[in-house]
Structure formats: structure tokens, C-alpha cells
């Protein structure tokens, strides 16, 4: 089974602090994602990466940056935390891309999640 580990389950930071959220996967999966989960809004994509040193903005990248120096590690960075960044942050990954082959798709399309990091910014 894929294991996705997020370094901190709970963090409390002050406004203006720099925050690092770490995510490590133990499988050789190309695609990694950072989502933010808020009540009534579901999960919203912040950033994703499809390869080492590659990154793409998701739907809500403002105020965030990411780093992917190694395939297994994808970090989310809040350069200057603000109270509106108080949220649950979920890391996820996905092995490769969906490819249609004879007889069906090449993989399941399943996304594997970490346990989440609940960040409170005071």
C-alpha cells in the first residue's frame, strides 16, 4: 500500500511566520498534490507537481509556494502566514497518468491521501 506521511498533524503559528508543511510518499509516484479543505468548500487544489522540480499552480495558489527537490517529497510553504490560511491541508499522490489501453484504462485513477495537517494561524 502507498503510504503518504505528512510531517505535522497539528500546527499553531502566528501571523507573518513562515510555515513549512512536509509530505513524503514511500512509493515511486510521479504526481503529488496539495489541497486545502474548508467546511462547505470541499477540497481545493493549491499546487501540484508531476515530476521532480516541476510544479503547477492549482486553483488557489496565492500566498503559497511549493518545493519538489526529490521525487518522494513535496513541501508546501506559506511565506508569511495569515489568519485566512487557517485550514486543513491535505497532501495526496497519484501514480503516473491515466492511459487508455485496449481493454480499459492503465491504472485505477485513485488518489492516495495523507492524514492531513491542521494549521491554525493566530
Q: Which stretches of the chain bind another protein, using CB under 8 A?
A: 4, 31, 33, 35, 40-45, 48, 50, 56, 58, 90, 92, 94, 97-98, 100, 104-105, 108-111, 113-116
CB atoms near residue 21 (< 10 Å): 23
Q: In the bound complex, what is the minimum distance in angstroms from residue 45's beta carbon to another protein? A: 6
Instruction: Give the residue with the Cβ less far from another protein, 17 or 58.
Output: 58
Q: Which residue has 495537517 as its cell numbers?
A: 117
Q: Identify the three-state secondary structure at position 90.
A: strand
Instruction: Give the residue with the Cβ less far from another protein, 13 or 57.
Output: 57
Q: In the bound complex, what is the minimum distance in angstroms from residue 16's beta carbon to another protein? A: 29
Q: In the bound complex, what is the minimum distance in angstroms from residue 67's beta carbon to another protein? A: 18
What's the helix, strand, coil split of the chain in %, to 5?
A: 0, 50, 45
Instruction: Give the residue with the Cβ less far from another protein, 56 or 79.
Output: 56
Instruction: Give the residue with the Cβ less far from another protein, 51 or 79.
Output: 51
Burial (CB count <10 Å: 0-12, 13-18, 19+), residue 46: buried
What is the C-alpha to C-alpha distance for residues 86 and 101, in angstroms, rounded to an integer?
43
Q: In the bound complex, what is the minimum distance in angstroms from residue 114's beta carbon to another protein? A: 6
Amino acid at each position: 500500500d502507498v503510504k503518504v506521511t505528512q510531517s505535522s498533524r497539528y500546527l499553531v503559528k502566528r501571523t507573518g511566520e513562515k510555515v513549512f508543511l512536509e509530505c513524503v510518499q514511500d512509493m515511486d509516484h510521479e504526481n503529488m498534490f496539495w489541497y486545502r479543505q474548508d467546511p462547505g468548500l470541499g477540497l481545493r487544489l493549491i499546487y501540484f507537481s508531476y515530476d521532480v522540480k516541476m510544479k503547477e499552480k492549482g486553483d488557489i495558489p496565492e500566498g503559497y509556494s511549493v518545493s519538489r527537490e526529490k521525487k518522494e517529497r513535496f513541501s508546501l510553504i506559506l511565506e508569511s502566514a495569515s489568519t485566512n490560511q487557517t485550514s486543513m491541508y491535505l497532501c495526496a499522490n497519484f501514480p503516473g497518468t491515466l492511459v487508455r489501453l485496449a481493454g480499459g484504462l492503465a491504472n485505477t485513477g485513485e488518489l492516495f491521501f495523507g492524514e492531513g495537517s491542521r494549521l491554525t494561524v493566530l
